[in-house]
Each structure stands twice: as C-alpha cells, then as structure tokens.
Amino acid sequence: MGKGKDNEDDELVWNYAIRDVKPIEKKRTLSENPKPTKPSQPSKVDAAKSTPPPQPLEQTLPKKPAAKKYKSSEIDARTNDRLRKGQIPIEAVLDMHGMNKSQAHNALNRFILSNQAKGKRCVLVITGKGQKNRDPLAEHEGVLKAEFQHWINEAPLKQHILQTHIAKPKDGGSGAYYVLLRRKR
C-alpha cells in the first residue's frame, strides 16, 4: 500500500471531523505595565458585609442526585424487585423490530390493551436498540426505544400499566422492557 492513499483518507476523515469547528476569539490582554492602584482600606461596615469564609470543597460541589427508586402505593417493593430481576413470568411478547414509528405505536396500544383485558400481568416489549450510527459523536438512541417511554406515559396506556423496567440480557437487555400490567377490574 502506498502512503499517498492513506494520507488522503486520513485527511478526508480529519476534514470531516473538524467541519463545524470555529476558531476561538482571542481575548484582549492587559497592557504589560498596568497602572498600580492603591488598595483602599475597608471600613468596618464593609468588612461585616464581606462574603463568608470559603467552605470546604465537599460542600461547594453540586451533589449527585440520589438514584431514584420506584415508590408507589400500587406496587410493593418485592414485586418491583421481581420485575426488575426478570423473575415474573412473561405471558406475552411484542417484538417491534422492523416497524416504523406509527406501526409500532398502534401495535403497542393494541398489545397492552388486549393483554390487560385478558388478565395478563407481565409482558415483554422489544423495541430494539436502534441502528448503529457510524458517526461516533452522534448520541443516537433507537427511535422506538425513545418513543416507548412517551407512549406508556400517555393515554390510553398509562392507566393500564403499573410499572416498566429494562429487561435482563436474556430477555433482550436495553432493547426490551418488562411491563407490569394492572389487574383487570
């Protein structure tokens, strides 16, 4: 292989990577010999109004939000734990691979409503993880995976679902969800 072809490819990749980069504006610098200013003596009133002494670093850093745990009076902790661990038997599966957004939304509505009407409690919805994007800087999540969270929190599905959780790898991992349905009344 010749070095010329590799260099051209590298240059094309580099130019693509920096296509949106803009130079940083130069900051104005102070003159080399700034005029010294005489510090004024702070009055006792100014000293009282001054800022408090610096706090230790631990107190000034923003605290990370605590991990959210699902708390609901409708579902007990043991059931939530079993759902999270994939220990509740899956009674039906919907695989949305190959569906467009509209088809998947309609299929999900029919699937949840019909299974809840049949008295089923735990179902698995496979959204898929989305297509791999060749742009390493792109933060792209599958369309159906992203929409799933919106769909289950809207009518008519919201009133039929108690809880959802990302599936275990054996059931589809991050491209699938366990859905715990409300009991039929």
What domains are defined for the chain?
77-181 (3.30.1370.110)
At 78 the pLDDT is 92
SS3 content of the chain, % helix, strand, coil (to 5): 35, 10, 50
Q: Which of 184, 176, 68, 61 is nearest to 123 (CA)?
A: 176
At 28 the pLDDT is 63
3 state DSSP class of 95:
strand
At 20 the pLDDT is 82
Distance CA 27, CA 34 (A): 17
Q: Can you say whether residue 92 is alpha, beta or left, with left for phi > 0 and alpha for psi between -120 and 50 degrees?
A: beta
At 145 the pLDDT is 85
At 88 the pLDDT is 93
On the question of a cis peptide bond just before residue 62, with omega within 30 degrees of 0, the verdict is: no
**Over pLDDT 70: what percentage of the chain?**
66
Segments of the chain scoring below 70 in pLDDT: 1-5, 27-73, 131-141
What are the distances in angstroms from CA 170 to CA 4, 7, 24, 81, 84? 48, 44, 49, 17, 13
pTM equals 0.56
